[in-house]
Amino acid sequence: MLKALLGGLTAAMILAAPATATPKDPNKLFSDSKIVVRDRFSVEVAGKGPDIVFIPGLTSGRATWKASADRLRATHRVHLIQIAGFAGEPARANKDGDVFVPTAEAIDAYLVDRKLGPVTVVGHSLGGSMALYLAQKHPEHVKRVMVVDSMPFLAQMFGGAQMTPESAKPMATAMRDGMAQGGETYAAGLKRQIGQMAKGDADKQMITDWGLTSDPTVAGRAMYDLLLLDQRPGLSQTKVPLTVVYPDNAPAGAKAGMMDGYYAGAYKPAPAVTLKRVDASLHFVMLDQPQAFAEALDAFLSQP
């Protein structure tokens, strides 16, 4: 059961200097916002107040956070990341080579350049792994982090506790190469698996469209990077407060309380972690249960 659930979850995850602002970005959410383009990502900036950086998951668009941004931009300045190569965003510097670490480092450079830190960071799926990366590698730039349905070492969820980055390489390579081929087989598989990512038909269609308009080679390399990224060793030294929001996966058949053990065990070494389960939700928690997610986000933001 767990592998089936995580196989679906993974599909969503499978799934320089600033340039001039471009108002024609097809992923632009707000008419009064500003789009800034960098080599590894673009960012939509809206609102005034304390800064919050939102990072979407693999192949996902910044519209993942539209409801949260729309609600918060009256009191905060939101920075909505769109990773290059995902959801119609041109690949630019992500066209070749590693994706995860260079993009995470580019986001950190953005925080420094814009003098945002220490800043609040919220990330979903692969974006949650990037948020945790920032907390571990650049804690001086991060005030607190919310990780939404992301594990510190994803490959372990497929191979068990004995899995290591080295032993995960064959699986990661096969997944990268399979995704990079794109085409009808990839599209059909994506559509099937999205069924376990979110509950609403409109949300499923949006997530599927993101995947189909993503560069499959960027998505494949980013997934490869993520499967080989083991952030467990750094958890015990992660001083930045972490909030981990996760689904119960009940709509996909998970037994009551099953996910609690996995997330509690995965993040147990972190000295400052808060776990929050959202019931009746799947991987896209914020889409499945917007009110419950809004409450969890507000509680997170109210922390000192």
In tens, the pLDDT along 174-187 reads 999 999 988 888 88
Tell me, what's the pLDDT at 304?
80
Beta bridge mates, 51? 77
In tens, the pLDDT along 216-229 reads 999 999 999 999 99
- Cα angle value 265/269/272 (rounded, 5°): 110
How long, in residues, is the chain?
Answer: 304
- Pick from 289, 124, 278, 277: nearest CA to 200: 289
| 282 and 247 Cβ atoms separated by less than 8 Å | yes
| 15 and 159 Cβ atoms separated by less than 8 Å | no
Q: What's the rounded mean pLDDT across residues 89-108?
A: 98
Tell me, what's the pLDDT at 24?
63
Give me the chain's average pLDDT, please. 91
Tell me, what's the pLDDT at 186?
83
Q: Confidence class of residue 3 from pLDDT cuts 50, 70 and 90?
A: very low
> How much of the chain exceeds pLDDT 90, in percent?
82
Q: Confidence class of residue 172 from pLDDT cuts 50, 70 and 90?
A: very high
Greater confidence (300 vs 14) lies with: 300
CA distance 293 to 240: 21
Q: What's the rounded mean pLDDT across residues 109-116?
A: 97
The answer to which of 71-75, 142-146, 195-199 has the lowest mean pLDDT is: 195-199
Tell me, what's the pLDDT at 106?
98
Q: What's the rounded mean pLDDT across residues 243-251?
A: 97
DSSP 38: -
Tell me, what's the pLDDT at 11?
43
| 152 and 235 Cβ atoms separated by less than 8 Å | yes
Q: Are strands 51-55 and 41-47 parallel, antiparallel or unpaired?
A: unpaired
For tokens 């997170």, the residue is 300
Question: What tokens appear for 285 in the block?
Answer: 């928690």
In tens, the pLDDT along 19-53 reads 444 446 778 999 999 999 999 999 999 999 999 99
Tell me, what's the pLDDT at 160?
83
CA distance 120 to 164: 31
Helices (H), 45-86: 66-72
Tell me, what's the pLDDT at 176?
95
In tens, the pLDDT along 138-167 reads 999 999 999 999 999 999 988 888 899 999
- 17 burial (CB, 10 Å; 0-12 / 13-18 / 19+) is exposed
Tell me, what's the pLDDT at 52?
98
Helices (H), 78-215: 100-113, 126-137, 156-159, 169-180, 183-193, 201-212
The domains located in the chain, with CATH, are 2-301 (3.40.50.1820)
Residue 189 has pLDDT above 90, yes or no: no
**How far does CA 38 lie from the centroid of its chain?**
18
Helix/strand/coil for 142: strand
In tens, the pLDDT along 54-71 reads 999 999 999 999 999 999
Q: What's the rounded mean pLDDT across residues 93-110?
A: 98
Q: What's the rounded mean pLDDT across residues 174-201?
A: 89
In tens, the pLDDT along 260-297 reads 999 999 999 999 999 999 999 999 999 999 999 999 99
